[in-house]
Structure 1
Amino acid sequence: MNATTSADLYAASRARLTEAGLSFSPETLAGRVPACPDWTVHNLLSHLAGVAADFVSGNLDGVPRPPWTAVQVDARRSTPISGVLDEWATTGPTLEKLILSGETSHPLICNPYVDAGTHEADLHGATGIGRPPRELWLATLDWIFPVTEPNEDAPGLLSVVTPDGTYQVGAGEPVAEVRTDSYELFRAAFGRRSPAQLRAWQWSSADAADSWSTGLAFLPQTQVDLID
C-alpha cells in the first residue's frame, strides 16, 4: 500500500463518517453499536477522533488495546458530536499529512483506513449509512493477509477463496480451503462474524469449518450473528 492511497482511503472514510455523524439524531447517537456493544454511536465516533489525535501526538502507549481506546471515548463523552467531529476535522488532515511525509513506519499510523473502515461498516450495521466502498475493504484484506501467526486455535494453513482473490492464513502445509465473499472475510477477520456465520461458508470439510470458525478472527469474535 503506498502512502497516497492510504491517506486517500482514510480521508474519504473520514468525510463519509463526518457527514453521517452530523446528520444523526440524538437518539441515533445514543444508540448502541451491535459490533461494538459497549459503545454508542457517539462513543464510536469519539474513538475515531481520538485515534487521530493520539496518532499525531505520538500517544501510542497501549495501542490498540481496550484501555487505550477507553481513554479516547471517556475524554469525549460529554462533548457534543459537532465538537468531536470538529476535532477530527483538524487532526484527521494532520494524520494524512503524517502518512504522506514518510516520517513514520508504524503500521497502524500508516494505515488508519483499516480501523476507520472497520468502524464505518460497524456504523452501517447500527444505522444503515452504507457499507464502506469495495476499494477500502479489498485494500484492508491485502494489508492483513497473508498472516503467518493466526489465532492459536487455528491449525495449519487455510486458503480463503473469494471472487477477488485467494488469501492465506496460518503456516505450514495446506489443511483446508473455504469459499466466501470478500466483504464477509473483511468483517470476519476483525471479529465481526460469529462462529455460526463462519461455519455457513463453503468449507472443504466439516472438521475444517469447526476448527477455523473460531480461529480466523484476529480480534475478539462476536458470538451473535451480525448483519451489515
Structure 2
Amino acid sequence: MDGIEQWTAAQQRVIALVGGRPAEETEVRVPACPDWTVRDLFSHMVGLGTDVVAGDEPDDHNETWTQKQVAARADHDIATLVAEWEATAEPLREWMRANGTRPVGDVTIHEQDLRGALNEPGAQDTPALAALRETFVGRVEKELGDLPPIALVGESWQWVSSGSVDDAAVLVRASDFDLARAVMSRRSANQLRTWTERGDVEPYLDAFAVLGGLPDSDLTES
C-alpha cells in the first residue's frame, strides 16, 4: 500500500464530502465522536495535519491536544478549513516521506465517522482501511489476555486469535467493513453480541475498546 497515495485520496474524498454543505449540516453531531459536530471533527482532521508538520504531535494523541485543534478553529467555516488543509497537504506528504504514514490512520477512521454522521456511505474497501484493520486487530489481540480463542469472520476476510476458526470458542460474523470498524472501537457491544454465532462475546468486549469505550448506541455508515 502506498500510504501517501491513500492519504491523498482520502483527503480528496473528505473535502468532496463536507465542502459546500449548508452550515446546518456541518453542525450535526457525529455519532462516533458524540462530543463533536461535523465541523468540529473536520477541524481536528485539519489541525492534526498542521500540528504534525509543525512538530507538535504527542505519542498518545491525547484529548487535550485534539480539543485544542478544535477550539483554535471554532470560528472557522468549512471553506476556511478546506483551504488550510489543502495548504498543509504537500508539507504533510513531505513529512510522511521522511517519517512514515501514521496520518493515514486518522483520516481513514474519521472519514467513516463523517460518513456516518452525514449518511453518505463510501470508501468501505480501500487498501488503507484493510491495512488499518490488520493493525487494530493486532491491538485487540493484545488485550485478550488468557481468553479462549475468538474468530472474526467476514465475507472475504477472517481472523482467529489462536488455532482455527472451527475451533474458536467465540465466532463473530459480519461484513468485512463492519469487522474493520469493530476493531477500531466503532461498533457497539450490542452489535458485537448480535453478530456472535457461537459462544459468549461478553468477556471479550473490553478488548474491542482499544480507542476508548465502545459506543453506547449502534453505529453504521451505510
Give the TM-score normalised by structure 2.
Answer: 0.86
Whichever residue aligns with residue 127 of structure 1, its letter is L
Residue 227 of structure 1 corresponds to which residue in structure 2? 220
1-structure distance, mates of 2:103, 2:59? 16
Cα displacement (A) at 1:174: 5.8
2-structure distance, mates of 1:196, 1:104? 39
Residue 185 of structure 1 corresponds to which residue in structure 2? 179
Identity of aligned residues (%): 27
Whichever residue aligns with residue 183 of structure 1, its letter is F
| SS of equivalent to 1:159 | strand
2-structure distance, mates of 1:92, 1:12? 11
Given the alignment of the two structures, is residue 55 of structure 1 paired with residue 52 of structure 2, yes or no?
Answer: yes
**Among 132, 139, 158, the residue aligned to 2:131:** 139
Distance 1:157 1:40, change over 3 A: same
Q: Gapped runs of 5+ residues in structure 1?
A: none
Given the alignment of the two structures, is residue 11 of structure 1 paired with residue 3 of structure 2, yes or no?
Answer: no
Query: Conserved in 2, the CA contact under 8 Å of 1:151 and 1:218?
Result: no
Residue 119 of structure 2 corresponds to which residue in structure 1? 128
Cα displacement (A) at 1:45: 0.6
Given the alignment of the two structures, is residue 161 of structure 1 paired with residue 153 of structure 2, yes or no?
Answer: yes
Cα displacement (A) at 1:155: 2.8
Q: CA RMSD in A?
A: 2.3
Distance 1:37 1:18, change over 3 A: same
2-structure distance, mates of 1:170, 1:74? 44
Residue 76 of structure 1 corresponds to which residue in structure 2? 73
What per-residue deviation string (whole Å, max 9, x for no partner) do you get for residues 47-105 of structure 1? 000111111111123631211110110111111211111111121222122222xx325
| SS of equivalent to 1:130 | coil
- Count residues with an aligned counterpart: 215
Cα displacement (A) at 1:150: 1.7
Whichever residue aligns with residue 196 of structure 1, its letter is N
What per-residue deviation string (whole Å, max 9, x for no partner) do you get for residues 175-208 of structure 1? 4332221111121122221111100113321x2x
Query: Conserved in 2, the CA contact under 8 Å of 1:117 and 1:132?
Result: no
1-structure distance, mates of 2:211, 2:147? 17
Residue 41 of structure 2 corresponds to which residue in structure 1? 44
| SS of equivalent to 1:38 | strand
**Among 177, 196, 202, the residue aligned to 1:202:** 196
Q: Gapped runs of 5+ residues in structure 2?
A: none
2-structure distance, mates of 1:38, 1:130? 22
| SS of equivalent to 1:197 | helix
Distance 1:69 1:125, change over 3 A: same
Query: Conserved in 2, the CA contact under 8 Å of 1:145 and 1:169?
Result: no
2-structure distance, mates of 1:177, 1:129? 30
Given the alignment of the two structures, is residue 211 of structure 1 paired with residue 203 of structure 2, yes or no?
Answer: yes
Cα displacement (A) at 1:141: 1.1
Given the alignment of the two structures, is residue 116 of structure 1 paired with residue 107 of structure 2, yes or no?
Answer: yes
Cα displacement (A) at 1:168: 4.2
2-structure distance, mates of 1:146, 1:162? 17
